[in-house]
């Protein structure tokens, strides 16, 4: 679709654009998932979507009605009409239907926008008066913006806006969330050239004079299809700013004076990309494109962003690599570095309570005993995790972005271990020691090593120390459910700190819940988002709802209220009605999963339960408003309280800083006299037990490494073989150690 067809102008426009933006796939592109909406696209033109109710409306040259089969000879296509596509129960779009019979005509109906309530619409149409086309001086009928009101389900009171000019095109309206500013595209006088983006302010029942948005947005070429987000960000299409080719998608934030920013791949291609919209949470949206592989000249594509769109562009909020880390794994007794230990890790920051409850996309919840009401929240490592293995020196290098991470360290013959890493407070080297697996004397279920025996659950090890649930390791660190946690057979790990005596705990803010679920408890479903003016369940919300269904199936005595909340903008009656419909749709989804309706109550609170100061008339940022838009679960009735446990290692290793080596007060004068002021330190092991460290020191001294000393670092003992100012000398020492079958690593 060429520029002429995009805004129904009479001008033939030629695109002259220097291509200096790489189309190569970037890291940002991998975080955006795009889908051609096959059910609504055809060999005709489909473009310029707008959020409306449970789906979208858009423009198409499909014939809406035989009566309105009218070809525009200038573009050799049927006149443009407005179509609507609602979502079915699975969240996918249904085949389109004409949007409103009241708006059907024999002229072009173009892009449109709705106010927050969905009761006022602004749309593009050929300039008419009393149903008759009005031609400009050049003999061509231009485009204007009209307003319509929804009364009893019908769009009536269609009026032309006062700033229209029959001599120019005035198209592509987009209304601000507060309804006080309308953006549009026009080639009227006073612009930078071609089509420019303008704005008008609502003053009572009237509108101000149009204002050109200036050089940060407009160029000598064409800027069209504006879309203003609730946070004030303006998205638009341009062939004047540097891009990939044809029309490209750009954005400009309020107050920006620099040229607008290109959205980049995969939003932009070498063809036309335009008509961009995105939901309040900046995760889901749609845009139009004539890119290769579509069904027609223009198709509509949906997209989903992992995280938020702004994180792809804003350095201040984008996760950044803090620095490189190294996980070092050793045998807790011999202090030998362990080669080939499998390390799996995942970022915990996006983990929701429901995802944890479900264990990922495959919920596997075991029915607890009558006396056991604990609920373990498990990190789904198989689904979310990345992995690798330690090298021959027991090292595993990894670059981590800002955040909290869970690591699982496993090696055949050793007990698995879990640790938590906060990249902002951790230092570069993370030491982990593994204990050997306990050899069972009997594998029977009822014998000395069985479930009720000395080595089974609630039992003890051969040496008298306890293991299993409620147990601990020989060195005192727990490895049971009330100890350090366990690695599950399916790869998930149990995270908890609520019952540990000495360990740290991870408690994310995403879930918004306490450590105990009881009657009256409320927790949020953080991954349930709704598009603007939309109550349908989006596909990405199913993870939380499926997990909630699994939780309710696990605890059949639990009855819940599922509630939806809006922010304060818009009419209170409209907000109440929309939120009620959203809550009902969520409950209906759970019922389809097999849950009894009598255990589920849907309540739409609208704006009645604002959580901050952002009530009617208060100035707030979009993030502050977003805090009030939420879906919550309240426990109405249950027989027993449920203790939530985030099972975490109760004795996490200390993190070693380069300058933190200090002499052990327990070591002998001969072993502690060696200074570690050199730049290169050769370390032959890390111990959690001082006696084991002494044994390793003796072994090294016996092999002729007389300078070996023990240094205390936090709660661990490091075997320092020697330190050097010269790196080659340190490497030579490592070579000698390797010849003596002693693994070591170099600390620089």
Mean pLDDT per block of 10 residues along the chain (748 residues) reads 35 24 44 89 94 90 78 80 85 88 85 90 92 90 95 93 96 94 96 95 94 96 96 95 93 90 93 94 91 90 85 60 79 84 77 44 36 46 70 87 78 82 76 75 34 31 30 30 33 34 29 59 72 66 79 89 87 85 90 94 92 84 79 89 50 31 33 49 78 83 91 78 90 89 79
* 476, 470 Cβ separation under 8 angstroms: no
The 3 state secondary structure assigned to 539-553 is HHHHHHHHHHHHHHH
Q: What are phi and psi of 628, to 5 degrees?
A: -90, -20
Q: How many CB atoms lie within 10 A of CB 188?
A: 18
Query: What three-state secondary structure class fits 243?
Result: coil
Q: How far separated are the first and last CA of the chain, in Å rounded?
A: 61
Q: Kindly give, in sequence order, each residue whose CB lies less than 8 Å from that of residue 163, ignoring residues fewer than 6 positions away.
A: 170, 200, 207, 209, 210
- Closest alpha carbon to 391 in 458, 329, 463: 329
* 394, 745 Cβ separation under 8 angstroms: yes
pLDDT of res. 560 = 94
Nearest-angstrom CA–CA distance, 566 and 524: 14
* 49, 275 Cβ separation under 8 angstroms: yes
Taking CA 92 as the corner, what is the angle to CA 88 and CA 93, rounded to the nearest 5 degrees? 80
Nearest-angstrom CA–CA distance, 700 and 689: 17
Structure token digits, residue 289: 């494109």
Q: Kindly give, in sequence order, each residue whose CB lies less than 8 Å from that of residue 569, ignoring residues fewer than 6 positions away.
A: 116, 177, 178, 625
* 154, 146 Cβ separation under 8 angstroms: no
pLDDT of res. 711 = 87
Q: How many CB atoms lie within 10 A of CB 659?
A: 7
Cα separation values, 266 from 275, 306, 318, 365, 399, Å:
15, 14, 18, 39, 25
Length of the chain: 748
Widest CA span in the chain: 105
User: DSSP string of 577-600?
Assistant: HHHHHHHHHHHHHHHHTT--GGGE
* 716, 653 Cβ separation under 8 angstroms: yes
Structure token digits, residue 185: 């595209």
pLDDT of res. 223 = 97
* 425, 440 Cβ separation under 8 angstroms: no
Nearest-angstrom CA–CA distance, 598 and 81: 45
- Closest alpha carbon to 585 in 362, 577, 51, 93: 577
* 404, 422 Cβ separation under 8 angstroms: yes
Q: How many CB atoms lie within 10 A of CB 728?
A: 9
Nearest-angstrom CA–CA distance, 283 and 297: 26
CA-CA-CA-CA torsion for 233, 239, 244, 249, nearest 10 degrees?
A: 20
Nearest-angstrom CA–CA distance, 288 and 56: 13
- Closest alpha carbon to 42 in 294, 302, 303: 294
Q: What are phi and psi of 476, to 5 degrees?
A: 100, -15
- Closest alpha carbon to 591 in 94, 89, 93, 92: 89
Structure token digits, residue 17: 């654009």
CA-CA-CA-CA torsion for 692, 694, 700, 705, nearest 10 degrees?
A: 150
Taking CA 409 as the corner, what is the angle to CA 664 and CA 472, rounded to the nearest 5 degrees? 65
* Structural domains of the chain ordered from first start: 3-312 (2.120.10.30), 321-435+473-494 (2.60.40.1120), 526-640 (3.30.1330.60), 658-747 (3.30.70.1070)
- Closest alpha carbon to 644 in 504, 458, 543, 512: 512
Nearest-angstrom CA–CA distance, 517 and 569: 32
Give the orientation angle of helix 572-592 with respect to helix 542-554, to 10 degrees.
60
């Amino acid at each position: 679709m060429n520029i002429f067809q995009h805004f129904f102008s009479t001008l033939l426009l030629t695109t002259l654009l220097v291509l200096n933006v790489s189309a190569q796939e970037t890291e940002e592109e991998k975080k955006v998932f795009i889908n051609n909406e096959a059910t609504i696209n055809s060999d005709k033109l489909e473009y310029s979507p707008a959020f409306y109710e449970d789906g979208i409306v858009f423009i198409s040259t499909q014939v809406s009605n035989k009566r309105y089969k009218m070809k525009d000879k200038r573009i050799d296509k049927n006149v443009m009409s407005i179509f609507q596509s609602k979502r079915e129960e699975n969240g996918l779009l249904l085949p389109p239907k004409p949007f409103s019979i009241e708006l059907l005509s024999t002229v072009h109906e173009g892009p449109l926008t709705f106010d927050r309530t969905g009761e006022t619409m602004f749309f593009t149409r050929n300039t008419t008066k009393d149903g008759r086309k009005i031609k400009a001086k050049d003999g061509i009928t231009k485009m204007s913006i009209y307003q319509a009101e929804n009364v009893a389900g019908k769009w009536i009171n269609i009026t032309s806006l006062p700033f229209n000019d029959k001599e120019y095109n005035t198209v592509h309206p987009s209304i601000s969330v507060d309804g006080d500013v309308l953006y549009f595209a026009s080639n009227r006088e006073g612009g930078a050239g071609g089509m420019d983006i303008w704005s008008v302010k609502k003053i009572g029942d009237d509108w101000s004079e149009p204002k050109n948005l200036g050089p940060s947005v407009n160029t000598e070429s064409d800027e069209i299809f504006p879309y203003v987000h609730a946070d004030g960000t303006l998205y638009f299409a341009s062939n004047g700013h540097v891009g990939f080719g044809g029309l490209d998608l750009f954005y400009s934030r309020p107050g920006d004076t620099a040229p607008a920013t290109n959205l980049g791949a995969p939003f932009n291609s070498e063809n036309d990309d335009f008509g961009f919209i995105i939901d309040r949470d900046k995760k889901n949206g749609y845009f139009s494109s004539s890119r290769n592989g579509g069904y027609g000249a223009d198709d509509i594509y949906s997209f989903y962003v992992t995280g938020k769109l702004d994180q792809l562009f804003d350095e201040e909020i984008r996760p950044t690599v803090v620095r490189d880390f190294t996980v070092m794994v050793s045998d807790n007794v011999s202090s030998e570095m362990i080669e080939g230990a499998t390390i799996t890790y995942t970022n915990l920051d996006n983990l929701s309570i429901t995802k944890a409850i479900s264990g990922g996309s495959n919920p596997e919840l075991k029915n607890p005993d009558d006396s056991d009401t604990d609920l373990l929240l498990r990190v789904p490592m198989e689904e979310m995790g990345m992995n690798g293995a330690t090298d021959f020196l027991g090292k595993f290098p990894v670059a981590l972005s800002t955040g909290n991470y869970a690591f699982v360290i496993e090696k055949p013959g050793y007990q698995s271990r879990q640790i938590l890493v906060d990249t902002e407070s951790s230092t570069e080297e993370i030491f982990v020691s593994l204990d050997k697996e306990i050899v069972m004397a009997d594998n029977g279920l009822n014998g000395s090593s069985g479930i009720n025996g000395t080595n089974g659950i609630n039992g003890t090890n051969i040496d008298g120390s306890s293991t299993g649930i409620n147990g601990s390791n020989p060195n005192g660190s727990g490895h049971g459910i009330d100890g350090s946690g366990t690695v599950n057979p399916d790869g998930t790990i149990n995270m908890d700190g609520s019952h540990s005596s000495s360990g740290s705990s991870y408690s994310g803010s995403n879930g918004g819940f306490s450590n105990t679920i009881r009657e009256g408890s409320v927790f949020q479903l953080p991954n349930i988002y709704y598009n603007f003016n939309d109550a349908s369940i989006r596909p990405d919300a199913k993870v939380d709802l499926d997990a909630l269904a699994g939780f309710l199936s696990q605890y059949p005595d639990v009855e819940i209220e599922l509630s939806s909340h809006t922010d304060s903008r818009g009419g209170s009656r409209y907000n109440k009605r929309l939120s009620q419909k959203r809550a009902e749709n969520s409950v209906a989804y759970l019922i389809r999963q097999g849950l009894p309706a009598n255990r589920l109550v849907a309540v739409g609170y609208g704006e009645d339960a604002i959580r901050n100061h952002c009530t009617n008339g208060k100035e707030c940022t979009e993030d502050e408003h977003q805090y009030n838009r939420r879906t919550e679960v309240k426990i109405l009735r249950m027989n027993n309280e449920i203790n939530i446990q985030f099972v975490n290692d109760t004795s996490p290793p200390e993190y070693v800083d380069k300058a933190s080596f200090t002499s052990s007060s327990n070591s002998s004068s001969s072993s502690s006299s060696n200074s570690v002021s050199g730049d290169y330190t050769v370390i032959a092991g890390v111990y959690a037990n001082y006696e084991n460290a002494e044994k390793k020191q003796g072994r090294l001294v016996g092999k002729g490494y007389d300078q070996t000393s023990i240094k205390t670092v936090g709660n661990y003992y490091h075997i320092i073989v020697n330190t050097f100012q010269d790196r080659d000398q340190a490497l030579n020492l490592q070579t000698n150690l390797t010849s003596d079958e002693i693994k070591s690593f170099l600390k620089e």
